[in-house]
Amino acid sequence: MENKRVRVRFAPSPTGGLHMGGVRVALFNYLFAKKHGGDFILRIEDTDQTRFVAGAEEYIINSLKWCGIEPNEGVGFGDGPHAPYRQSERKEQGIYKKYADQLVASEHAYYAFDTSEELDEMRKRLEAAKVAAPQYNAVSRQNMRNSLTLSEDEVKRLLEAGTPYVIRLKVPRNEEIRFHDIIRGWVVVNSSQVDDKVLLKSDGMPTYHLAHIVDDVEMKISHAMRGEEWLPSAPAHILIYRYLGLEDQMPQLAHLPLILKPDGNGKLSKRDKSGLPMFPLNWSDPRDNTDYVGYKETGFFPEAFINMLVLLGWNPGDNKEIMSKDELIQLFSLERINKAGAKFDPEKTKWFNQQYLRKKTDEELADLFMPMLKEQGFEVKKDFAVKVCKLVKEKAHFVTEFWSLGSFLFITPETFDAGVLEKRLNPQTHGFIAELKNALNDVSNFNAIDTEAALKATCEKTGIATGQIMQLFRVALTGLAGGPSLFETMELIGKEETIKRLNFFLEKNKV
């Protein structure tokens, strides 16, 4: 068991868009599998028919693809030796019922016929009696309608009459359950804290508790990584493995810390004030009729998104922060995962994207930017787009900012920064701009070097220091108080446009 092939799975239920917390669980599984040359499986846990959301499964698959953390086995990824990988389909094959029946036969599970009204009543009764943890368990089951309290004949009669029933796990009254978690070490819980979990629902579907165990064993999963929210039910799972005689095939457990909200308390939810997305891709949720924006559409690179996520709760042990997927695979280890939940930091998330933005070549950026330019109505040649990217990227965190940062390269400014005008515009500087315009008009080879020379010459001629007029010149040319090199800007927009802009400025701002 110790040395069996590494096989891990990501097993979401298709009840909505895949949240970034889910992406991180998938990521950890992926990295671990790749690190050990193992398999990464996508299993769809669609056992709750009432919460099923159409399109969710496809969304999950597309998200994993965009993130570059693709399973090599499972739904949407070519299936594999353990198909089907959808639990609803596996249920049709009777896989889960078989195990549930085995548990009943060995008297570790039983039939329960209680209606939801009866269950409600029981809880109310227990609450009224000030029972600390009102639950269906070794004590309360004695007052309920199940195969433990009913006569054999009665049970048989109910079953034959088609009375709805569930199968529940018979949890012992007072027994220590201990299990080892790779991240948390030994955890001990008394069985009195564990309720008699429903294993098989009245619609014949298994619950998560039964289904994931059956599938993990049948699919030969070696390590089960999942969110910390599963820790409280882990003891029940241990019992199921044990009663099924499958303890030696149990995967090693690792309960991952949760991602917490940036401000305030609690775990991350679908919508957050931080302004950053919670989903990898745009997601239209049919349940609350809301459109959620994705990291992709916000302009994030998948590498940056992944890099940010992996460092929420894990680190390589040195101070390295920017890591490629291959490096992550190389460096990843479960032992270095933290125990405590991590607050998600929007500012640092943007910083990650900026780091990746700077690593891209201008050509790569141009490929991304040109479609956005086209949307704005500007179709330009690639080499021009490359030059624009080179100028505009310095300040940006996202390619999606390029347009607002560089629109002045395409659109002649009609308004001018009022603050600079007030501070710098006077008859002398106005005259200077006019003088400069003429000098620029005489530049035959209109490149950054020659235009800069023209400016220097004009400064010397008029006796005005460069620092005195650059700001105004910038505003005259771009309308803005800040931006990339003016000489590069002029080279890009060309002589004709430069002169035209300066004329317009001089005309509009007479003093």
Name which of residues 474 to 493 contact RNA (CB under 7 A): 474, 481-487
List the one residue from 153, 347, 442, 507 that touches RNA (CB under 7 A).
Answer: 347
115 interacts with RNA by CB under 7 A: yes
Output the smallest distance, CB 193 to RNA, in A.
Answer: 4
Phi and psi of 252, rounded to 5°?
A: -70, 140
What would the two tokens of residue 309 be? 């996520």
Binding to RNA (CB under 7 A) within 304-323 occurs at: 311-313, 315, 317-319, 321
Of 7, 8, 9, 11, which lies in the binding site for RNA, with binding defined by CB under 7 A?
A: 11
- Judged by CB under 7 A, the chain residues 36 through 65 that form the site for RNA are 45, 47-48, 50-51
Footprint of RNA on residues 122-141 (CB under 7 A)?
123, 132-136
Mapped onto helix, strand or coil, the DSSP state of residue 165 is coil
d(CA 190, CA 211) in angstroms, rounded, equals 23
340 scored as a contact of RNA (CB under 7 A): yes
4, 180, 287, 348: residue in contact with RNA (rule CB under 7 A): 348
Q: Cα–Cα distance between 322 and 353 in angstroms, integer?
A: 10
Alpha-carbon Rg for the chain, nearest whole angstrom, is 32
Q: Closest distance between RNA and the C-beta of residue 485, in Å?
A: 3
342 contributes a contact to RNA by CB under 7 A: yes
Please name the residues in contact with 323: beta carbons below 8 A apart, sequence gap of 6 or more: 307, 310, 316, 331
φ, ψ (nearest 5 deg) of residue 326: -65, -40
457 binds RNA (CB under 7 A): no
Q: Binding RNA by CB under 7 A: which of 6, 95, 182, 187?
A: 187
Q: Is 246 in the site for RNA (CB under 7 A)?
A: no
Q: Does 184 bind RNA (CB under 7 A)?
A: yes
Please select the residue that binds RNA; options are 343, 360, 390, 495, rule is CB under 7 A. 343
Q: Which one of the spans 150-158, 190-198, 298-306, 432-440 is the region binding RNA (CB under 7 A)?
A: 190-198
> Which 251-270 positions form the footprint of RNA (CB under 7 A)?
257-258, 260, 262, 265-267
Binding mask 369-408 for RNA (x = CB under 7 A): -------------------------xx-------------
User: In the block, which residue shows the tokens 């302009």?
Assistant: 299
* ∠ Cα 431 435 439 (to 5°): 165
- The question of whether 508 is a catalytic residue gets the answer no
Q: Which of 436, 466, 471 is nearest to 451 (CA)?
A: 436
Q: Classify burial at 503, counting beta carbons within 10 Å of its beta carbon; exposed 0-12, middle 13-18, buried 19 or more.
A: middle
Question: Least distance in Å: CB of 198 to RNA?
Answer: 4
Backbone region of residue 243 per phi and psi (left: phi > 0; alpha: psi in -120 to 50; beta: other values): alpha
Q: Catalytic pick from 65, 97, 267, 270?
A: 270
H helices present in 301-408, as ranges: 302-310, 325-331, 346-359, 362-375, 382-392, 402-406
By CB under 7 A, the residues from 141 to 170 that bind RNA are 164, 166
User: If we measure between CA atoms, which residue out of 145, 179, 318 comes closest to residue 253?
Assistant: 179
To the nearest whole angstrom, how small is the minimum distance from the Cβ of residue 95 to RNA? 15
Among 233, 282, 412, 462, binds RNA (CB under 7 A): 233
CA distance linking residue 206 with residue 237, whole number of Å: 14
DSSP type of residue 68: T
Instruction: List residues with catalytic annotation.
Output: 270
